[in-house]
Structure 1
């Protein structure tokens, strides 16, 4: 999907995976945009036109997603830990010449951004997370409401290929149903973007990699988060979420994040879970105001 004439595709080899990305824009300040599940970097296509005049934008596919490499899984799921994904992104930005940068992430990408801000505090100058509460907080406050709303967290971590086989029977149905369930009632996804999500997600290896992402979240990511319990993000943090979604209904979002970051601001936008596609102009306006 074409992001514009100033954007070009690239593939960067990191120590753990080859990362597919597009990058461009008229600005000099680097901004890393990280997508969520079950999507790819294409999810930023409606936000990029508003931000491109101001930044050098980097939109990668996380390892295991899109056209990025899918490393072999391992027993402790460390190949798909947020720490491994954060390392990929730090190396990508260095390869592109950016020692310090801004990062904004949605959904799974927001969890990678959270880990990046902790593991690379000298490199992440500002961070934004969209429509999540911290992983540790969510698992530590699991109840029937959470298990119902986020059933996929507990489905995707099941072992022995169970979710892979079930999703693999009809990946397009599963993906489109996820988009419908999590978005607001007025949401409309671009047909070209949707086709790209389906293309990438339909590969059995991609389905497996995405399950490994969630298995890591319930195991090694929690171990890393426990080790960092009480340690707060140093850089300013912007938190955005949809007022029609589960996160808004379930948490005092800013208060929760104040337990994980020193400087927190944010707001709810009038949309469901997929902020960059449901409310792109509002997302861009919030990011520009935060960064300026």
Structure 2
């Protein structure tokens, strides 16, 4: 699925990060969502690598990256910790400044990286998300019903782990499976069927409801903003646009914001790879050439 890409397991100061990289040109880091792995980019990354050095990495807790022990404050699964991993992994590859594209949970790591490591991030593209703080503070019944898994996965161990482990396919594939290539789906299932991974993914959401929320809140009230250009794209069939003015919300966090909806569901890079690739290329060509 990643012909001409090189596989590496990069040892950072806190975790081992599983990744693939290929291509040449300005560097772009692609980060996946829940409960997937870097394989979710298989329809986009090879074509993006025609013009860019593309790195696809598994977040800590996911895929074949480390699943470190957690802590009472869930900091080991915070997006700040994940961001540290990715900055170090990119530096290990000799890439000190790069664009980052993140879908779902990867998008949360990506915007945290832009806030915490502004000198490293040249451009930021987020797929189908808003900042964690905005979701939680704007929660109403519609959001809670649509995003119920946020509140379920954040429950104390071992409640969600026990229930999910009884039938991982039913839980993780509840949105369907036809949008996934069989080879990609097999990879997701291999990873999300591992009880250690299930626990780590729950820790990701526990961190989201605790330390990630606190970090976002502190930045919001301190007036910290994302310095680099930001692109937000989202699936029109997933519902984000029904609840929010997506670009208006992101403009509360950054000065340079652009983007649009794409006619697909949540999994943009797999449901609408051509449209997703076109949007990314347009944004990257303009932002990476001018900075």
Q: Same fold (TM over 0.5)?
A: yes
1:211 maps to 202
CA deviations on 1:72-128 (whole Å, 9 max, x unpaired) are: 011000000000000000000000001100100000000000100001111100010
Counterparts in 2 of 1:1-292, with a 5 A limit?
2-4=1-3, 6-25=4-23, 27-177=24-174, 179-180=175-176, 188-229=179-220, 230-292=223-285
- For structure 2, the 5+ residue unaligned runs are 286-291
Aligned alpha-carbon RMSD (Å): 1.0
CA deviations on 1:139-187 (whole Å, 9 max, x unpaired) are: 001111011000000000111300000000011221111x42xx8xxx5
TM-score in terms of structure 1 length: 0.95
Residue pair 1:131, 1:247 contacting (<8 A) in 2 also: yes
Residue pair 1:50, 1:281 contacting (<8 A) in 2 also: no
For residues 218 and 188 of structure 1, the distance between their equivalents in structure 2, rounded to whole angstroms, comes to 29
- For structure 1, the 5+ residue unaligned runs are none
For residues 173 and 199 of structure 1, the distance between their equivalents in structure 2, rounded to whole angstroms, comes to 14
2:288 maps to none
TM-score in terms of structure 2 length: 0.95
Q: Structure 1 stretches (4+) deviating beyond 6 angstroms?
A: none
For residues 20 and 30 of structure 1, the distance between their equivalents in structure 2, rounded to whole angstroms, comes to 17
For residues 200 and 248 of structure 1, the distance between their equivalents in structure 2, rounded to whole angstroms, comes to 31
The alpha carbon displacement at 1:49 in A equals: 2.7
